[in-house]
Amino acid sequence: MPIKSISVMNMMVFQNQWRFNNGMPQEHSLKEKGHFNEEFQLSFTDGINVIIGENGTGKTTLLKMIYAATQWSNEKTHSNKTNRFSKFFSNYIKDTDLLKNHNSKQIQSGFIVSDGTTEFEYCLSPEKGFRNLDNWLKLNIQSVYIPTTEMLSHAKGFLALNEKYDMPFDGTQVDIIVNASLPETRELPSYASNLLDFIGKAIGGTVIHEDDSFYVVKNDGQKIDFSLEAEGLRKLALLWKLIRNGLLEKDSILLWDEPESNLNPELFPLVAEILLLLQRNGIQIFVATHSYNFAKYLEITKEENDKVQFHTLYKGTSKLSASLKNMLSEIEPIGETVFSDSADKLEDLSPNHLMSADEKLLDMVFEQKVSEK
């Protein structure tokens, strides 16, 4: 079941509030400095959604909002849903009440995730919290989130320790170990079997979970501990295991934060092809990336019927209306805000920090070549 849209009220307030409550002193409370944007909304394709933006614009937070909402929809999810929800956004917060802004009841911050018919809404104001949940609770949306941090190398004893102690890992990092540790499915659709063969050639084998650890079993029979494999290949190996466990099937959602991180650029076309194959078989995909090359490979290698859409998040300055100025008298009347833009082609996004950085590099190379003559 694809996610059709997300509306975010005060993205920067949301980020700053959970970071502040997470014990990060460099972040500020809302009274100290005001960041305000009324709302932005993104509409998504059923295929691949590529999200770009400079650091601090909320790409990871956006992915976590979608993941948290989809996880909440599953009736089989952990019984303590409220605490689990907050852990997606913070390592240490044990209750969503700590996420809320108690400094000012007037400042609204939160998000609404919609499948086009049903909505999930969460608001940080103390008196609201979760809203419109009755229909959402039974959607059972299957989703997988791959965080930037590679986690399977740390799997030995991790889940037991995490149950007992306050570990410095958020819910997405815990979940990926849980998902990779699930039993393999007995039967796989043909496209999944083909994908496993495709990825298996890249990693030179298969992936097993044995004695609470992960290994890559090479084609010659050699068993390599996951931590000893090249990190870029570990990303592919993780994807292999998720597919083998039946977690990436039709109508499921994959959220992948910076798939290009620590990946050899020569593997970009391979990963792009894997994602395109997944979306052709009914998996909706969200990726956040800082790589122009990776994003461009998704665009130039797609086929006519493939669905790939690009979204950018960027900061700007917004003047508030007179009514909002009166309501928000405690903060600056002009605040830094997050805006969004979407396009079917990467170069049509504006602003586009990926293309700007790439063009700047090319200009520097050109100038250097000219100076050498």
Chain segment 171-191, per-residue pLDDT in tens: 999 999 999 999 999 999 999
> In the structure, what pLDDT confidence band is assigned to residue 79 with cuts at 50, 70 and 90?
low
Cα four-point dihedral sign 344, 114, 86, 10? positive
**Residue 312 · residue 59 · CB < 8 Å:** no
Packed helices 59-72 and 171-180: angle between N→C axes, nearest 10 degrees: 60
Q: Name the pTM for this structure.
A: 0.87
CA of residue 288 relative to chain centroid, distance: 6
Three-class DSSP category at 52: strand
What CATH code would you report for 5-142+249-372? 3.40.50
- Which of 283, 2, 282 has the alpha carbon at shortest distance from 118? 2
- Which of 179, 173, 194, 150 has the alpha carbon at shortest distance from 245? 179
Residue 108: the pLDDT is: 60
Three-class DSSP category at 321: coil
Residue ranges of domains in the chain? 5-142+249-372, 153-248
Residue 78: the pLDDT is: 56
Element of type H or E holding 48: strand 48-53
Which residues is 146 bridged to in the sheet?
256
Which residues is 143 bridged to in the sheet?
253
- Sorted by sequence, the CB contacts under 8 Å of residue 52 that are 6+ apart come out as 59, 288, 289, 290, 295, 310, 311, 312, 313, 349, 352, 353, 354
Cα four-point dihedral sign 16, 17, 19, 25? positive
> In the structure, what pLDDT confidence band is assigned to residue 93 with cuts at 50, 70 and 90?
low
Chain segment 230-262, per-residue pLDDT in tens: 988 999 999 999 999 999 999 999 999 999 998
Three-class DSSP category at 46: coil
What average pLDDT does the segment 86-90 reach?
Answer: 78
pLDDT higher than threshold 80 for residue 102 = no
Edge-to-edge strands, sheet with 213-218: 205-210, 213-218, 223-225
